[in-house]
Structure 1
Amino acid sequence: MRDYEIVPDAEVIGWRGACTCGWRGMMWIRVGSAVEEDLPRRRAYIPSSGFSDPSASVEEAIEGEWRAHVMPLKLVDEVRAAAREYASAGERLTDSVAEAKAGGATWAEIGAAVGITRQAAQERWKNARYPLR
Protein backbone atom coordinates (compact mmCIF):
# COMPACT_ATOMS: atom_id res chain seq x y z
CA MET A 1 0.00 0.00 0.00
CA ARG A 2 1.36 3.41 -0.97
CA ASP A 3 1.41 6.29 1.48
CA TYR A 4 0.91 8.82 -1.31
CA GLU A 5 -1.54 9.44 -4.11
CA ILE A 6 -0.72 9.74 -7.80
CA VAL A 7 -2.71 12.54 -9.42
CA PRO A 8 -2.73 13.16 -13.17
CA ASP A 9 -0.67 16.20 -14.13
CA ALA A 10 -3.66 18.15 -15.42
CA GLU A 11 -5.46 17.78 -12.07
CA VAL A 12 -2.65 19.09 -9.86
CA ILE A 13 -3.66 22.48 -8.49
CA GLY A 14 -0.73 22.98 -6.12
CA TRP A 15 1.58 21.53 -3.51
CA ARG A 16 2.02 21.56 0.22
CA GLY A 17 4.19 19.88 2.78
CA ALA A 18 2.76 17.31 5.14
CA CYS A 19 3.98 15.35 8.13
CA THR A 20 3.04 11.97 9.55
CA CYS A 21 1.87 13.79 12.71
CA GLY A 22 -0.95 15.41 10.71
CA TRP A 23 0.67 18.81 10.13
CA ARG A 24 -0.01 20.30 6.70
CA GLY A 25 1.83 23.31 5.33
CA MET A 26 0.30 26.22 3.49
CA MET A 27 -0.74 25.56 -0.08
CA TRP A 28 1.38 26.58 -3.05
CA ILE A 29 -1.01 27.32 -5.92
CA ARG A 30 -0.18 26.14 -9.43
CA VAL A 31 -0.86 28.92 -11.93
CA GLY A 32 -1.43 28.52 -15.66
CA SER A 33 1.32 30.77 -17.02
CA ALA A 34 4.77 32.09 -16.20
CA VAL A 35 3.32 35.62 -16.11
CA GLU A 36 1.07 34.66 -13.18
CA GLU A 37 3.93 33.18 -11.16
CA ASP A 38 4.54 35.03 -7.89
CA LEU A 39 6.65 32.94 -5.52
CA PRO A 40 6.41 35.34 -2.57
CA ARG A 41 2.63 34.87 -2.78
CA ARG A 42 3.02 31.08 -3.14
CA ARG A 43 1.95 30.98 -6.78
CA ALA A 44 4.13 28.76 -8.99
CA TYR A 45 4.02 27.99 -12.68
CA ILE A 46 4.88 24.47 -13.77
CA PRO A 47 4.17 23.71 -17.43
CA SER A 48 2.12 20.63 -18.14
CA SER A 49 4.58 17.93 -19.16
CA GLY A 50 3.08 14.75 -17.80
CA PHE A 51 4.66 15.37 -14.40
CA SER A 52 3.65 18.05 -11.96
CA ASP A 53 6.68 18.15 -9.72
CA PRO A 54 7.18 21.60 -8.19
CA SER A 55 10.25 23.62 -9.08
CA ALA A 56 13.38 23.32 -6.96
CA SER A 57 12.67 26.67 -5.31
CA VAL A 58 9.14 25.57 -4.32
CA GLU A 59 10.45 22.24 -3.04
CA GLU A 60 13.10 24.04 -0.99
CA ALA A 61 10.48 26.38 0.48
CA ILE A 62 8.20 23.46 1.38
CA GLU A 63 11.10 21.57 2.94
CA GLY A 64 12.02 24.69 4.93
CA GLU A 65 8.46 24.91 6.28
CA TRP A 66 8.58 21.24 7.26
CA ARG A 67 11.98 21.67 8.93
CA ALA A 68 10.59 24.61 10.93
CA HIS A 69 7.67 22.37 11.93
CA VAL A 70 9.87 19.50 13.17
CA MET A 71 12.59 21.63 14.79
CA PRO A 72 10.84 21.91 18.20
CA LEU A 73 10.27 18.14 18.16
CA LYS A 74 13.93 17.55 17.38
CA LEU A 75 14.99 19.92 20.15
CA VAL A 76 12.70 18.18 22.65
CA ASP A 77 14.29 14.86 21.62
CA GLU A 78 17.67 16.42 22.45
CA VAL A 79 16.33 17.46 25.87
CA ARG A 80 15.02 13.93 26.42
CA ALA A 81 18.41 12.42 25.52
CA ALA A 82 20.24 14.88 27.78
CA ALA A 83 17.84 14.07 30.65
CA ARG A 84 18.59 10.35 30.25
CA GLU A 85 22.32 11.08 30.29
CA TYR A 86 21.88 13.34 33.32
CA ALA A 87 19.95 10.65 35.22
CA SER A 88 22.53 8.04 34.29
CA ALA A 89 25.38 10.31 35.41
CA GLY A 90 23.56 10.96 38.69
CA GLU A 91 23.21 7.23 39.31
CA ARG A 92 26.88 6.70 38.46
CA LEU A 93 27.86 9.55 40.82
CA THR A 94 25.79 8.12 43.66
CA ASP A 95 27.31 4.65 43.13
CA SER A 96 30.82 6.17 43.04
CA VAL A 97 30.21 8.10 46.25
CA ALA A 98 28.91 4.97 47.99
CA GLU A 99 31.91 3.01 46.76
CA ALA A 100 34.34 5.75 47.88
CA LYS A 101 32.69 5.95 51.30
CA ALA A 102 32.79 2.15 51.67
CA GLY A 103 36.47 2.32 50.68
CA GLY A 104 37.29 4.75 53.48
CA ALA A 105 37.01 8.18 51.86
CA THR A 106 35.87 11.01 54.11
CA TRP A 107 32.90 13.27 53.45
CA ALA A 108 35.36 16.15 53.11
CA GLU A 109 37.25 14.31 50.34
CA ILE A 110 34.04 13.36 48.56
CA GLY A 111 32.66 16.90 48.86
CA ALA A 112 35.89 18.38 47.51
CA ALA A 113 35.79 15.97 44.55
CA VAL A 114 32.38 17.27 43.46
CA GLY A 115 32.86 20.88 44.51
CA ILE A 116 30.60 20.99 47.56
CA THR A 117 31.15 21.10 51.31
CA ARG A 118 31.61 18.08 53.54
CA GLN A 119 28.23 18.77 55.12
CA ALA A 120 26.47 19.03 51.74
CA ALA A 121 28.04 15.76 50.55
CA GLN A 122 27.03 13.95 53.71
CA GLU A 123 23.46 15.27 53.53
CA ARG A 124 23.10 14.38 49.87
CA TRP A 125 24.56 10.86 50.00
CA LYS A 126 24.24 9.73 53.63
CA ASN A 127 21.83 6.98 52.57
CA ALA A 128 23.75 5.88 49.48
CA ARG A 129 24.61 2.21 49.62
CA TYR A 130 27.44 0.62 47.72
CA PRO A 131 25.74 -1.51 45.05
CA LEU A 132 26.17 -5.25 45.29
CA ARG A 133 27.69 -6.54 42.07
Structure 2
Amino acid sequence: MTWDYNNHEGRAATIVDGGRRVVSYASDGMVLEDGTSVADSDAIGWRAECSCGWKAPLMFERVSDPSAALKPWQVFETEGGWAPKEIEDICHTEWLDHVRPEMGIDAVRQAAEDHRLSGERLDGSVAEARQRGVSWADIGKAVGVTRQTAHERWKALSQNPR
Protein backbone atom coordinates (compact mmCIF):
# COMPACT_ATOMS: atom_id res chain seq x y z
CA MET A 1 0.00 0.00 0.00
CA THR A 2 1.17 3.54 -0.67
CA TRP A 3 0.12 6.92 0.71
CA ASP A 4 0.13 10.11 -1.34
CA TYR A 5 0.47 13.77 -0.46
CA ASN A 6 1.45 16.29 -3.16
CA ASN A 7 4.80 15.08 -4.53
CA HIS A 8 5.31 12.54 -1.74
CA GLU A 9 4.47 8.87 -2.02
CA GLY A 10 5.06 6.90 1.15
CA ARG A 11 5.13 3.17 1.73
CA ALA A 12 6.14 0.48 4.18
CA ALA A 13 9.11 -0.78 2.17
CA THR A 14 10.19 -4.38 2.47
CA ILE A 15 13.96 -4.66 2.99
CA VAL A 16 16.21 -7.65 2.19
CA ASP A 17 19.90 -8.36 2.92
CA GLY A 18 22.25 -5.51 2.13
CA GLY A 19 19.53 -2.92 2.77
CA ARG A 20 18.09 -3.53 -0.68
CA ARG A 21 14.47 -2.49 -1.17
CA VAL A 22 11.67 -4.48 -2.76
CA VAL A 23 9.94 -2.50 -5.53
CA SER A 24 7.22 -4.97 -6.49
CA TYR A 25 5.69 -8.28 -5.56
CA ALA A 26 5.07 -11.17 -7.92
CA SER A 27 3.45 -14.57 -7.52
CA ASP A 28 6.90 -16.18 -7.25
CA GLY A 29 8.43 -13.67 -4.81
CA MET A 30 9.62 -10.10 -4.63
CA VAL A 31 11.46 -7.95 -7.18
CA LEU A 32 14.31 -5.71 -6.08
CA GLU A 33 15.37 -2.34 -7.52
CA ASP A 34 17.99 -4.03 -9.72
CA GLY A 35 15.40 -6.47 -11.16
CA THR A 36 16.56 -9.43 -9.09
CA SER A 37 13.81 -11.71 -7.79
CA VAL A 38 13.99 -13.05 -4.26
CA ALA A 39 11.72 -15.20 -2.10
CA ASP A 40 9.29 -13.55 0.33
CA SER A 41 11.20 -15.27 3.13
CA ASP A 42 14.29 -13.19 2.24
CA ALA A 43 12.67 -10.14 3.82
CA ILE A 44 14.69 -8.98 6.82
CA GLY A 45 12.32 -6.17 7.80
CA TRP A 46 10.28 -3.11 6.90
CA ARG A 47 10.86 0.63 6.98
CA ALA A 48 8.76 3.70 6.17
CA GLU A 49 10.08 5.43 3.05
CA CYS A 50 9.06 8.31 0.79
CA SER A 51 9.55 8.97 -2.91
CA CYS A 52 11.49 12.15 -1.99
CA GLY A 53 14.29 9.97 -0.56
CA TRP A 54 13.33 10.19 3.11
CA LYS A 55 13.67 6.98 5.12
CA ALA A 56 12.51 6.40 8.67
CA PRO A 57 15.48 5.98 11.02
CA LEU A 58 14.19 2.68 12.37
CA MET A 59 13.71 -0.54 10.45
CA PHE A 60 11.35 -3.08 11.96
CA GLU A 61 13.30 -6.33 11.96
CA ARG A 62 11.57 -9.54 10.87
CA VAL A 63 12.10 -12.46 13.26
CA SER A 64 10.90 -15.91 12.17
CA ASP A 65 11.88 -17.85 15.29
CA PRO A 66 8.79 -18.15 17.53
CA SER A 67 10.97 -18.81 20.60
CA ALA A 68 12.97 -15.56 20.23
CA ALA A 69 12.53 -12.85 22.84
CA LEU A 70 11.46 -9.88 20.72
CA LYS A 71 12.89 -6.41 21.14
CA PRO A 72 10.52 -3.43 20.56
CA TRP A 73 11.73 -3.03 16.95
CA GLN A 74 11.35 -6.72 16.12
CA VAL A 75 8.29 -8.46 14.72
CA PHE A 76 7.50 -12.15 14.65
CA GLU A 77 6.58 -12.91 11.05
CA THR A 78 7.01 -16.31 9.40
CA GLU A 79 6.36 -15.57 5.75
CA GLY A 80 8.10 -12.28 4.88
CA GLY A 81 6.93 -10.23 1.93
CA TRP A 82 4.44 -7.43 2.60
CA ALA A 83 4.66 -5.61 5.92
CA PRO A 84 2.21 -6.91 8.53
CA LYS A 85 -0.77 -4.58 9.07
CA GLU A 86 0.45 -3.28 12.44
CA ILE A 87 3.87 -2.41 10.95
CA GLU A 88 2.25 -0.77 7.94
CA ASP A 89 0.16 1.37 10.29
CA ILE A 90 3.25 2.45 12.25
CA CYS A 91 5.09 3.21 8.99
CA HIS A 92 2.14 5.30 7.82
CA THR A 93 2.25 7.30 11.05
CA GLU A 94 6.00 7.86 10.63
CA TRP A 95 5.48 8.99 7.03
CA LEU A 96 2.71 11.38 8.11
CA ASP A 97 5.16 12.91 10.61
CA HIS A 98 7.57 13.37 7.68
CA VAL A 99 5.04 15.22 5.45
CA ARG A 100 3.24 17.11 8.24
CA PRO A 101 5.45 20.25 7.91
CA GLU A 102 4.62 20.43 4.20
CA MET A 103 0.94 20.02 5.03
CA GLY A 104 1.26 23.00 7.40
CA ILE A 105 2.98 25.22 4.84
CA ASP A 106 0.38 24.25 2.24
CA ALA A 107 -2.30 25.48 4.63
CA VAL A 108 -0.41 28.78 4.97
CA ARG A 109 -0.11 29.07 1.17
CA GLN A 110 -3.84 28.44 0.76
CA ALA A 111 -4.73 30.97 3.46
CA ALA A 112 -2.47 33.57 1.81
CA GLU A 113 -4.15 32.96 -1.54
CA ASP A 114 -7.60 33.20 0.07
CA HIS A 115 -6.52 36.45 1.73
CA ARG A 116 -5.28 37.87 -1.58
CA LEU A 117 -8.51 36.95 -3.34
CA SER A 118 -10.70 38.33 -0.57
CA GLY A 119 -8.68 41.56 -0.68
CA GLU A 120 -9.33 41.80 -4.41
CA ARG A 121 -13.08 41.21 -3.80
CA LEU A 122 -13.09 43.89 -1.09
CA ASP A 123 -11.27 46.37 -3.36
CA GLY A 124 -13.78 45.70 -6.13
CA SER A 125 -16.71 46.09 -3.76
CA VAL A 126 -15.38 49.40 -2.42
CA ALA A 127 -14.81 50.71 -5.96
CA GLU A 128 -18.33 49.72 -6.94
CA ALA A 129 -19.80 51.26 -3.78
CA ARG A 130 -17.99 54.53 -4.48
CA GLN A 131 -19.29 54.54 -8.07
CA ARG A 132 -22.80 54.22 -6.61
CA GLY A 133 -22.16 57.21 -4.36
CA VAL A 134 -21.63 55.44 -1.02
CA SER A 135 -19.76 57.69 1.44
CA TRP A 136 -16.36 56.94 2.96
CA ALA A 137 -18.03 56.96 6.37
CA ASP A 138 -20.47 54.19 5.35
CA ILE A 139 -17.68 52.16 3.71
CA GLY A 140 -15.51 52.56 6.80
CA LYS A 141 -18.39 51.49 9.03
CA ALA A 142 -19.04 48.39 6.86
CA VAL A 143 -15.37 47.40 7.02
CA GLY A 144 -14.90 48.29 10.69
CA VAL A 145 -12.53 51.23 10.23
CA THR A 146 -12.85 55.01 10.34
CA ARG A 147 -13.92 57.10 7.38
CA GLN A 148 -10.40 58.48 7.13
CA THR A 149 -8.79 55.02 7.16
CA ALA A 150 -11.18 53.81 4.44
CA HIS A 151 -10.44 56.88 2.35
CA GLU A 152 -6.66 56.49 2.71
CA ARG A 153 -6.78 52.79 1.85
CA TRP A 154 -9.03 52.98 -1.20
CA LYS A 155 -8.86 56.55 -2.50
CA ALA A 156 -6.93 55.42 -5.61
CA LEU A 157 -9.85 53.10 -6.52
CA SER A 158 -12.42 55.82 -6.21
CA GLN A 159 -13.58 57.92 -9.14
CA ASN A 160 -16.20 59.58 -6.96
CA PRO A 161 -14.55 62.54 -5.15
CA ARG A 162 -17.14 62.68 -2.35
Q: Give the TM-score, by structure 2 length.
A: 0.69
Q: Give the TM-score, by structure 1 length.
A: 0.83
| Deviation sequence 1:66-105 (CA, Å, 0-9, x none) | 1111122112212211111110000010011111111101
Matched, 1:42 2:42: no
Matched, 1:115 2:134: no
Aligned length: 124
Matched, 1:30 2:49: no
| Deviation sequence 1:38-80 (CA, Å, 0-9, x none) | 3xx21112103xx522222111111111111112211221221
Gap regions ≥5 residues in structure 2: 1-21, 25-30, 32-37
Distance 2:121 2:89 in 1: 45
Distance 2:114 2:158 in 1: 21
**When you count strand as a share of all residues, which structure comes out higher?**
2
**When you count helix as a share of all residues, which structure comes out higher?**
1
Distance 1:129 1:119 in 2: 14
Please, what is the CA RMSD of the aligned residues? 1.9
Distance 2:50 2:109 in 1: 21
Matched, 1:14 2:45: yes
Matched, 1:95 2:128: no
